[in-house]
């Protein structure tokens, strides 16, 4: 079994990954900005703020693999005067500094979690693969793409091998993103204006994503490779609303038709254009490469991840539902 250092270990995906790696018998280290409640058989290393000047020597000593999840993510109400510069500082410059420190520590594999957002907005249901052109349209997505390029340039002739994953929307217990917002809307029981939406979106549950992360961290064929990853079932927003609705008792998920153009305009008016784009647009991924090269198959069905997130959501609500 491997000794694996996880950055962003107390975040949504990181928390799931630490549990998964422990369950699989790996020796796990958490790189944390501030102390967190300890976990049995997990080493914690407090590294402070993660930037280009972070000192990694102690956390990396003896580590076989680094899984780099820490990132500046989407900000609903951006306060930075120059968002792209802020995203680059964390997602590009700090990532390169960690990769260089990993090389000095003789780490054997560096896993970087990128984003399917590098493909940009799409109105097509054609599935995109690792071979398709990218078109990042947000500062976050652009910084992830720049980090990918920086790591590839750095890796040439230096090592350790870098493996990159591009997940779509991730959901599960602990989520704070667009899936949770949609669950909240469905939970209220009011009709939603999505009956006229004709889109297709790939998604991935946290359980499936951490399984894929472990695969690319350990499989020899994943060295130096980039993979898109998904649950395996693409859904439209109306299908997703109905699926979420069946998880409530009584069943919810009623919808009425509304022109998508009007919904996009409403999203801009309330300052949530990206959220509305996620609900109305299409982004389908072709994950044949990771399945073929690594033999990876998602262990969980989408319904399982949704039930997990809905149960977690309801457990935190005083009324247990909405």
Contact 56/42 with Cβ under 8 angstroms?
A: no
∠ Cα 172 12 18 (to 5°):
100
Q: Quote the strand ranges of 35-108, DSSP E.
A: 42-46, 65-68
DSSP secondary structure letters along 22-44: HHTT-EEEEEESS-----TTEEE
Selection from 305, 217, 198, 173 nearest residue 257 by Cα:
198
Contact 225/161 with Cβ under 8 angstroms?
A: no
φ, ψ for residue 32, nearest 5 deg? -120, 145
Angle at which helices 302-315 and 206-218 pack, to 10 degrees? 120
Contact 203/235 with Cβ under 8 angstroms?
A: yes
For residue 126, give the DSSP letter.
P
For residue 125, give the DSSP letter.
-
Strand partners, 65: 4, 109
* Known catalytic residue at 140: yes
Rounded Cα–Cα distance for residues 283 and 200 (Å): 6
Strand partners, 109: 65
User: Which of 119, 140, 171, 227 is flagged as catalytic?
Assistant: 140
For residue 112, give the DSSP letter.
E
3-state secondary structure of 117: helix
Rounded Cα–Cα distance for residues 252 and 84 (Å): 40
Strand partners, 227: 165
Which residues are identified as catalytic? 140
């Amino acid at each position: 079994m491997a000794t694996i250092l996880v950055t962003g270990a107390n975040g949504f995906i990181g928390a799931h990954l630490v549990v998964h790696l422990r369950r699989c018998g790996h020796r796990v280290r958490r790189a944390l900005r501030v102390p967190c409640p300890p976990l049995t058989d997990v080493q914690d290393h407090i590294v402070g703020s993660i930037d280009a000047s972070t000192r990694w020597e102690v956390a990396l000593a003896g580590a076989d693999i680094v899984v780099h999840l820490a990132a500046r993510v989407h900000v609903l109400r951006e306060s930075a005067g120059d968002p792209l510069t802020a995203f680059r500082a964390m997602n590009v410059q700090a990532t390169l500094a960690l990769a260089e420190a990993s090389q000095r520590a003789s780490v054997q594999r560096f896993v970087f979690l990128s984003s399917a957002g590098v493909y940009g907005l799409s109105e097509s249901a054609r599935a995109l693969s690792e071979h398709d052109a990218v078109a990042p349209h947000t500062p976050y997505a652009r910084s992830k793409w720049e980090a990918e390029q920086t790591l590839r340039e750095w890796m040439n002739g230096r090592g350790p091998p870098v493996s990159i994953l591009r997940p779509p929307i991730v959901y599960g217990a602990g989520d704070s993103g667009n899936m949770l917002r949609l669950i909240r809307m469905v939970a209220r029981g009011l009709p939603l204006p999505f009956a006229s939406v004709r889109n297709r979106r790939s998604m991935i549950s946290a359980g499936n994503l951490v399984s894929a992360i472990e695969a690319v961290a350990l499989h020899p064929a994943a060295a130096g490779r980039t993979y898109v990853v998904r649950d395996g079932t693409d859904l439209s927003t109306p299908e997703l609303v109905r699926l979420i609705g069946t998880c409530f008792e009584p069943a919810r998920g009623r919808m009425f038709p509304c022109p998508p153009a009007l919904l996009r305009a409403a999203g801009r008016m309330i300052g949530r254009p990206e959220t509305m784009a996620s609900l109305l647009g299409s982004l389908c991924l072709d994950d044949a490469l990771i399945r073929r090269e690594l033999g990876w198959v998602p262990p969980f069905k989408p319904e399982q991840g949704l039930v997990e997130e809905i149960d977690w959501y309801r457990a935190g609500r005083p009324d247990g539902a909405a």
